[in-house]
Chains A and B, each alone.
Chain A
Amino acid sequence: MSKDSVKLLNFWPSMFGLRVHYALDLKGVSYDYQEESLLNKSKELLEANPIYTKIPVLIHNGKPICESLVIVDYIDSVWPGSHKLLPEDPYEKAVARFWADFGDKKLYDAGNRLIRAMGEEHKKAGEDFKWALMKIDEALGTIAPGKPFFGGDAMNFADVGLAPFICWFKGYQKVGGFVLPGPEEWPNLHKWVDAVNSVDAIKKSTPSPDKVAEFAEVIRKRVLGAA
């Protein structure tokens, strides 16, 4: 019986890499980790992801899989026995996929603009970011009322897709110059954040929000300096 070889190429602040960490850790899959320097990418990364030369990349038994949600989907197929991430019901599956995708389309997009945009665009990015979190708060109330996660009592594909942004909240607020509404305004979101942060598998790989905020501010300074 040969052992699976599983390796994650990542850069520690990446919320996309964190999705892969979460999927593997929730399922208790053992894996090797390789930290990549984005200014000095390893030969292995360049060969594993020649199209984008980006992290994260999962290398499973020598075969590379790229793009975080594609990787998480793959992980759920290959290790279905433990902590299933995608629901069995096709409609619930579609809903879970939708909200993970929302993380890319709306949350990441706004967050990225908070780091890189100027003036009016920067202000709009802050509003868009808050709108996205408000939608997540609403969705939690509709999809899993009274439960801590999109997946109900346990994290599912949607939770894994969105949770990595939590450790970035502090950083986004700092570069955006705003404070996120509290639990009175967004009760579901805050309950979800607390629930995610209390999961052992999540604690394993999540970088400290202070470190991430420091990183975000460094990038922001660089962007402002170049402007």
Chain B
Amino acid sequence: MAMACHDQDVTLLSFWPSPFSMRVKLALLLKGIEHEDLPQDLGNKSKLLLESNPVHKKVPVLIHKGKPIAESAIIVHYIDEVWPGTSPLLPQDAFLRAQHRFWTDFFEKKISDSLDRFIRSNGAAVNEEFIQDCLLLEGALAELGDEEEGPFFGGASMSFLDVMLAPSAVWIPALEQVMGLKPTSQEQCPRLHKLFGAVTEHPSAKVALPQIEKLKEFTQARLVSDHHVWIAKASP
């Protein structure tokens, strides 16, 4: 399949508010991979997007040497495999890798799903579920992350699971401030709070993740508009 119009080696089809798009951007920046970032209009999908991801028609898509890869977790796996030298993301140990993948899947099935339903119900539903699920994530961090090494699941540096969770560092505060989402307290989830704090301070994350104020504006606008171009529908 020829993506003839762009001769850059690495192209990201992105959508800045999408947490899934943010993950890929973060992975690229952590590894210092030069790339072309092509923001997409999800209300009027480009020919390039539709050709690159004909099955799901969603962002993010990474196009490397003309070949498209879709689904954020799969893209980040790919990036880690093709550029293993800098900032390795997946752990060496098979069991630990399985834990990273399990908790990524948990985040998608439970936390991301709760947040999506919270948004769609205009803040009416699932806050309690969301808190319970964050508590489980706190437990995972206690088990998998060595506090002495650093705040991340990967210790001092970000690992695969940290990259998968990083967008929540900006999305949760945005939803809290615009829609009254009640997040966990620092007492309930001390390490998770430290992790998200460390994410927002991380130089690569500062570029990959949008400012919370921008996300708040975006959320506010969607609450009043008729558009159904919502994050969860926009990307996997």
Q: Which residues of A contact B (CB under 8 A)?
A: 51, 60, 63, 65-67, 69-71, 73-74, 77-78, 90-91, 93-94, 97-98, 101-102, 105, 135
Contact = CB atoms under 8 A, between A and B. Distances in A.
B143 to A, nearest CB: 12
A73 B101 contact: yes
A109 to B, nearest CB: 12
Given A67-B102, A73-B98, 4 more contacts: A51-B136, A70-B105, A73-B101, A105-B236
Contacts, number: 55
Contact of A90 (B71, B81, B105, B236): B81
A93 B78 contact: yes
Interface string B65-92: 0010111001101100110000000000
A94 B75 contact: yes
Nearest to A74: B98
A73 B74 CA distance: 13
Nearest to A106: B55
B70 to A, nearest CB: 6
Interface residues of B, number: 23
A74 B81 CA distance: 16
A69 B97 CA distance: 12
- By secondary structure, the B interface counts as helix
A40 to B, nearest CB: 24
A73 B82 CA distance: 18
Contacts of A105: 56, 236
Q: Which of A65, A66, A69, A90 has the most CB of B within 10 A?
A: A90
Interface in B113-144: 136
Contact of B97 (A74, A90, A91): A74
B16 interface: no
A94 B102 contact: no
A70 B102 contact: yes
A133 to B, nearest CB: 13
A94 B98 contact: no
A59 B94 CA distance: 14
Contacts of A66: 102
A69 B108 CA distance: 14
B106 interface: yes
A91 B68 CA distance: 9
Interface in B152-167: none
Nearest to A105: B236
Given A51-B136, A67-B102, A101-B71, A94 B94 contact: no
B77 A94 contact: yes
A70 B71 contact: no
Contacts of A69: 101
B52 to A, nearest CB: 12
17 contacts: A51-B136, A60-B95, A67-B101, A70-B102, A70-B105, A73-B98, A73-B101, A74-B94, A74-B97, A77-B94, A77-B97, A90-B78, A90-B82, A93-B78, A97-B71, A98-B71, A102-B55
A135 B55 contact: yes
A105 B57 CA distance: 14
**Which 10 A-B pairs rank lowest in CB-CB distance, beginning with the nearest?**
A77-B94, A90-B81, A74-B98, A70-B101, A94-B78, A94-B69, A97-B74, A65-B98, A90-B82, A70-B102
Contact of A101 (B74, B78, B97, B136): B74
A143 to B, nearest CB: 12
Contacts of B75: 94
A65 B105 contact: no
